[in-house]
A and B are shown apart, each in its own frame.
Chain A
Amino acid sequence: MHNFEFVKPSSVADAVAALKDEDALALSGGQTLMPTMKQRLAAPSKLVSLTGIAEMQGVRQSGGVLEIGAATPHAVVAREAAAVYPALAALAGGIGDPAVRNVGTIGGSLANNDPAACYPSAALASGATIVTNAREIAADDFFQGLFSTALEEGEIITAVRFPIPQKAAYAKFEQPASRFALTGAFVAKYAGGVRVAITGASEDGVFRWSEGEAALSSNFSPAALSGLSVSADGMMGDLHGTPAYRANLVKVMTQRAVAAAS
């Protein structure tokens, strides 16, 4: 790994100022960025740690919304969101392994937007709001394909706001070696309708399965999806699963999520 300057500010304002340098990058849990730097796929001149910023930590509820500080580790979400938004807590508790969950953070996961990551599906299915140092971005506008998001250079996520659903569940078909999702479905039922977000399947990263949403909004049951089929066009294919296999998993995992949520 190339060397770099390391700074650890204690406020969002100081972090944003430190990130103004060319080639500076934010460091949260480091569970994705450090392996990337070891492979020299990233070689920042400066790392700005976000883990010492109190305002970016913690899980809080206000009214029908659960707000999570962007630098909150998965293990803390698994514990502290369990009573308010159990499906989200269960998702966080199923990421990687305990040591990854103790340091990996929600902000790092959303900013990275790995096409097989878990959190993007929760944010998209919940219609969450991604709060940054500069603005608020709707999840529908935030995810923009493989590893790309609406974030501008130097912009950092400070918190994520999840509207709390009536019912929800995440069903993940785990790739046993990486523990990422081979395909995962997050289903959330709100007064206004059902949202379904799929991770791990599409070449464009996380997406909403609108046909599934329409069927479930009129009948929230696994049977409502039985007549639907998902096209394999644009699905990822690799040694773990063909595009057709993943397309089928979209439906199967959504049905499992609905069954778990009912």
Chain B
Amino acid sequence: MKVSITVNGKAVSGEIEGRTLLVQFLREGLGLTGTHVGCDTSQCGACVVHVNGKAVKSCTAFAADLEGAKITTIEGMNNADGSLGTVQQAFQDHHGLQCGFCTPGMVMSSAALLAENPKPSEDEIRHYLEGNICRCTGYHNIVKAVLAASGQDADQIAAE
């Protein structure tokens, strides 16, 4: 069967099977390998993308169910001139990543949070990122990065 969707502003279509996962369509079909698969069991959040503006785990969505949807992936988060977008830049500035495996999902979830809640508190950030697992950073610098991306003082939280 065929599916037509918009990915990072571009209309794309492709031949898929019923069982094709959104993440497979993105990575294998479109070569957008920025979206990672950490678990494939909807536990880790590395595969989070935006579907019509909402954070969704792309390992647990069928491409066939998304006909006509607007998808944004990590590849669509930079500025028009190619420089890092606000959330990405904040992750770099605050050392919100180490190995980087969780980072695409972290950035997409953080951006979804900021779209819903432009000035989240530390607690709200930690709560919202519950579905995103990071084995490296201990989360502290991720929380700082999200605070900074929202224009708040990242040093307001205790250094740990």
Residues of A within 8 A of B (CB): 1-6, 8, 27, 30-31, 34-35, 37-38, 47, 49, 51, 75, 96-100, 102-103, 179
Contact B48 A35 (CB under 8 A): no
Q: A97-B130, A102-B55, A179-B130 are in contact. Are A49 and B65 (CB under 8 A)?
A: yes
Confirm or deny: B96 has a beta carbon within 8 angstroms of a beta carbon on chain A: no
| B residues whose Cβ falls under 8 Å from a Cβ of A | 1, 17-19, 40-42, 45, 48, 51, 54-57, 60-62, 64-65, 67, 109, 112-113, 128, 130-132
Q: How far is the CB of B122 from chain A (nearest CB, A)?
A: 17
The 6 closest A-B pairs by CB, nearest first: A97-B131, A6-B18, A6-B64, A102-B54, A99-B55, A97-B130
Majority SS at the chain A contact face = mixed
Inter-chain contact B1/A100, CB cutoff 8 Å: no
Taking CB atoms, residues of chain B closer than 8 Å to A35 are: 41-42, 60
Q: Which residues of A contact B17 (CB under 8 A)?
A: 3
How distant is B80 from chain A, measured CB to nearest CB, in Å? 27
Ordered by A's residue number, 14 sampled pairs between the chains whose C-beta atoms are within 8 Å are A1-B19, A3-B17, A6-B1, A6-B62, A34-B60, A35-B41, A47-B62, A49-B65, A75-B54, A98-B128, A99-B109, A99-B131, A100-B57, A179-B130
Report whether A100 and B65 are in contact in the complex, using a CB–CB cutoff of 8 Å.
no
Cβ contact within 8 Å between A31 and B1: no
Residues of B within 8 A of A96 (CB): 131
In contact, B19 and A30 (Cβ under 8 angstroms): no
Chain B: CB-nearest residue to A176: B130
What chain A residues lie within 8 Å of B55 (beta carbons)?
98-99, 102
A99–B113 CA distance with the chains assembled, in angstroms: 11
11 more CB-based (< 8 A) A-B contacts, given A6-B62, A27-B65, A99-B45: A4-B19, A5-B18, A31-B42, A97-B130, A97-B131, A97-B132, A99-B109, A100-B57, A100-B131, A102-B56, A103-B56
